[in-house]
Structure 1
Amino acid sequence: MPDDNELNLDDLDQQQAPVPAEEQGGAGDDDEDAGRTANDLETVFDIPVQVSAVLGRSRMQVSQLMKIGASTVIELDRKVGEAIDIYVNNRLVARGEVVVVDERLGVTMTEIIKGNRG
C-alpha cells in the first residue's frame, strides 16, 4: 500500500500544473483576455474608487470665491456640448457627455483614454 506522502507517476499525468505567467504570453498578447469573464474580476468588485466628472474649470481669487451665492453663475473653460473629462482615482480615463436620466444628471462615456500604466 503506498504511503500518503508518495506521489505515483500515473497520478502526475492526471494533474494539471499551473502555467507560469511568462509562458502564458506577454502583456500585449491578444489571446490573454479571450477566455476571461466578469467572474474572474469578482475579487476587485468591492474595491471603492473615486469617480469624478469634470464639466470645466475656472480660476478666481479667494475674494471672488467668498462672494459666491446660490444664484451665482461661474464661467467655465468649456463650451456647451464639449466633451467632459472623467477621472477615476484622479486619473483621466475617459471623455463623455452629460445626459439626463429620469430628471437626474448622468454621464455617458464616448471615448476611453488609453494612458501609460507606469
Structure 2
Amino acid sequence: MNLPNPLLDEHQEDLDKAIDELRGALHDAPPSPAEQTFSTALGDAMPNAGVVMNILVDVQIVLGSTEVPVSDLLTLQKGATMALNRRIGEPVDVVVNGRKIARGEITVLENDPSRFGVRVTEIVNGKLSS
C-alpha cells in the first residue's frame, strides 16, 4: 500500500530530474555539463535535497507472476512449484516503490558467486510507468 508522501509529491518534478540523471549514470555515459552541475542545481532547487536523496525506497526484482485460486494456495506444501508467466532468459522487471523503472537480466555476482543480482538492460522510457 502506497501512502501519500507530501514531501515527495511537492518535489516530484525535481525527483524526476534526479531519476533521469541516474538513468544516464546507469548507461555509463560520460558526464555531460548538465550532469556535472546536477548536485548544485538540485541543491539550489531543493535546499534539503540531501534529505530527499537519503530516503530509502523499496526495490523489487519481479521474476514473474501468476494467478491461482485461493484453494490452490491453501494446498501448497514444501517443494511445491508454481509456474510463472515468464520463461528462463526473459527480462525481469525492476520495480521501485511499486513503479516499474527498468528491465534486466539475472546474473551471478562476480565477487560472490553464491549470490545473484540483476544487470539493468533497459530503462523504461518517459515518465515512470506502473
Task: Please name the residue that 1:84 is paired with.
Answer: 92
Q: CA deviation at 1:34?
A: 4.5
Number of equivalent positions? 89
Task: Please name the residue that 1:74 is paired with.
Answer: 82
Runs of 5+ unmatched residues, structure 1? 1-26
Call closer, same or farther: CA 1:117–1:72 in 2, change over 3 Å.
closer
Amino acid aligned to 2:119: T
Call closer, same or farther: CA 1:90–1:117 in 2, change over 3 Å.
closer
User: Counterparts in 2 of 1:1-16, with a 5 A limit?
Assistant: none
Q: Which moved more, 1:86-95 or 1:97-106?
A: 97-106
CA RMSD across the alignment: 2.7
Amino acid aligned to 1:74: M
TM-score normalised to the size of structure 2? Answer: 0.58
2:102–2:120 contact (8 Å) kept in structure 1? yes
* Aligned partner of 1:35 among 21, 34, 37: 37
Q: Determine which structure has the larger helix proportion and give its number.
A: 2
Q: Distance in 2 between matches of 1:114 and 1:77?
A: 23
Deviations 1:71-106 (A, max 9, x none): 111100001100001111111100001112221121
Call closer, same or farther: CA 1:33–1:59 in 2, change over 3 Å.
same
Q: CA deviation at 1:117?
A: 5.7
Q: Distance in 2 between matches of 1:97 and 1:81?
A: 7
Larger radius of gyration between Structure 1 and Structure 2? 1
TM-score normalised to the size of structure 1? Answer: 0.63
